[in-house]
Amino acid sequence: MRRRFRRKPKKKVQVPQMRANDRIFADPVVLIDHNGEHVGEIGLTEARAMAESVGLDLVEVSPKAQPPVCKILDYGKFQYAQAKQYKQNKSQQKVVSTKGVRIGLRTDTHDLTFKKRQAEKFLAKGNKVKVEIILRGREKAHQDLAKENITHFLETLEVPFRTEEDIKRFPGGFNTIIAPE
CATH topology for 98-180? Translation Initiation Factor IF3 (3.30.110)
In angstroms, the CA 53 to CA 175 distance is 69
CATH topology of domain 21-78: Ubiquitin-like (UB roll) (3.10.20)
pLDDT value for 127: 94
Residue range 47-57: average pLDDT? Answer: 95
For 139-171, the pLDDT digits (tens) are 999 999 999 999 999 999 999 999 999 999 999
Tell me how long the chain is.
Answer: 181
Residue 1 has pLDDT above 80, yes or no: no
pLDDT tens digit string along 101-118? 999 999 999 999 999 999
Domain boundaries, the chain: 21-78, 98-180
Q: Quick one: which of 58, 65, 69 has its CA closest to 29?
A: 69
Give the pTM. 0.55
- Mean pLDDT over residues 80-96, rounded? 87
pLDDT at 13 over 70: no
Half-sphere exposure at residue 98, Cβ-oriented, CA atoms within 13 angstroms: 11
